[in-house]
Amino acid sequence: MADAKKRVAVIEDDRFLSTLIKTRLEREGLEVVQCFDGEQAVAWLRNNKPDALILDLIMPKMSGFDVLEAMSMDPQMNTIPVIVLSNLAQESDVEKAKRYGAKEYFVKVRISIDAVASRVKALLDGK
């Protein structure tokens, strides 16, 4: 019997970038769910537990920081590994995201989709 596909949530309001990431991760054999704002993401996360998630910080309705804070206070969500992918490059933003539990933090203009996919796979493989 084949292993169930690992599921990754991509929480990104830029639909083009979200779809690029989704397509790349699906090539790695992962199941990908997309959410396009923080409110939608938290509602989805309350009923589903992905193996990892990629999170933007600047989004409508609810910021990525608010999503991280909600996740950190919920025992059903606080164990999900989070990779932040944001345009915010200040050290204070990185520190805040990591304080709320982000495992990785990538600045969009400095990283490739392939690098993000590699890091997601490594996280899912426990590395």
Number of independent structural domains in the chain: 1
pTM of the model: 0.91
Domain assignment of residue 2, yes or no: no
Are 65 and 102 spatial neighbours (Cβ–Cβ below 8 Å)? no
Place of tokens 């169930």: 4
Domain assignment of residue 44, yes or no: yes
Domain assignment of residue 112, yes or no: yes
Provide the CATH number for the domain around residue 102. 3.40.50.2300
Amino acid 104 reads: E
Angle, alpha carbons 126-76-103 (nearest 5°): 40
pLDDT value for 126: 82
pLDDT value for 3: 60
- Distance, C-alpha 79 to centroid of its chain: 13
Structural domain that includes position 33:
7-124
Per-residue pLDDT of the chain (127 residues; tens, 9 = 90+): 456 789 999 999 999 999 999 999 999 999 999 999 999 999 999 999 999 999 999 999 999 999 999 999 999 899 999 999 999 989 999 999 999 999 999 998 878 888 889 989 998 988 6
Domain assignment of residue 42, yes or no: yes
- CA nearest to 118, candidates 104, 99, 107, 100: 104
Domain assignment of residue 1, yes or no: no
